[in-house]
Amino acid sequence: MTDIPPSARLYLRPTAFVSAPFDRDGQLLRLAGGMLWFSALDVIAVADGRRVADRLVPVDRLDDFIANLTSEQAETAGATIARLTAPRPPLRLGERIVRLDQPQVMAILNMTPDSFSDGGKHIDDAEAAASAGVAMAAAGAAIIDVGGESTRPRAELVWEGDEIARTVPVIERLARAGTAVSIDTRKAAVMEAALAAGAGLVNDVSALLWDAKSAEVVAKAGCPVVLMHHQGDPQTMQDDPRYDDALVEVYDWLEDRVAAAESAGIARDRIILDPGIGFGKTVRHNLAILNGLAMLHGLGCPILLGASRKRIIGALADEAPVERRLGGSVALALAGAAAGVQLLRVHDVFETVQALKVWRGMRDEALSPV
């Protein structure tokens, strides 16, 4: 019998990853149809808002474990395991297809004067910005993410007309060049203009909550959308963020947003989830989420990780300034890849792609029968 309380809700985090699945029938499960196999699940039981049990269950003992749960817990566990292992279908961005059976890079291209890392670099020069985007695609970025409003802590709201003027000329040029483009915005009018200009994906830091019309725009377009967790807004999010259990609460919040998006007519296979590193979270909150990233695959959607050059790196590395956070950014990208994250949103494309090529080479060798 299991000692997990019958009233507890269960969360399943894949762990005990192995290099290859050969000769291990029944002992492993494949994570989200990707390049990783895990041999155990960390089963976290939560009741009345707190963790009441935490058990490591080997894959080859899962059936026995589930048999001793309540019928409701067993049903939930079975559905979660199915979502953990189901392959993620590729994304279609216009004529471009982005496969999600391996980690892919989403490159950051900010058309803003005040973004925390590269604000002002391309402002008022759409041609130069588009050239930079094409170069990032040539360096291996699968998607170029164009944004016209900074959402760093304390950032000011940008009028949608200005945001459109900043982003649409760049998106038009990138689309003509055959590049897969996403629009980083929380405003429905900007989404519409960007999609009409050739963007194929909406990346919304508000998870379609900031603008009441945004879900309708995305549903009508039938395009993929990134729903990002946040607490508060850019003006207030870092004032005093609090969680009893950051990983579990982010999971629950994202689950609710997936349900809301589906109710609005957005197909689940077009939803991508972002845990929102740095958006209403302390360093400890961010670390807890990063350590538990693999659990988010239980929601059945691709995962995007955006940790490039963020404050957590400086906090852990002698207060390194933004321009000296490359090593930490690559380390977090590889941590994401090791947790099965499908999309990595980064500033440093060449270096991240190179790191992923090395990671991929190691995986390919491990998956080649001797």
What are the residue numbers of the active site?
Answer: 310, 345
List C-alpha distances in Å: 190 to 89, 163, 182, 184, 252.
Answer: 27, 7, 12, 9, 28
Please give the Cα distance from 32 to 298 (Å, whole number): 9
Nearest Cα to Cα of residue 187 among 153, 151, 229: 151
Count other C-beta atoms under 10 Å from residue 130's C-beta. Answer: 25
* Rounded CA separation 356/343 (Å): 12
Distance CA 353, CA 312 (A): 21
CA–CA gap between residue 357 and residue 336 (Å, rounded):
14
CA dist., res. 178 & res. 310, Å (int): 30
Residue 47 three-state SS? strand
Q: Supply the Cα-derived Rg of the chain in whole angstroms.
A: 20
Residue with token string 């982003």: 167
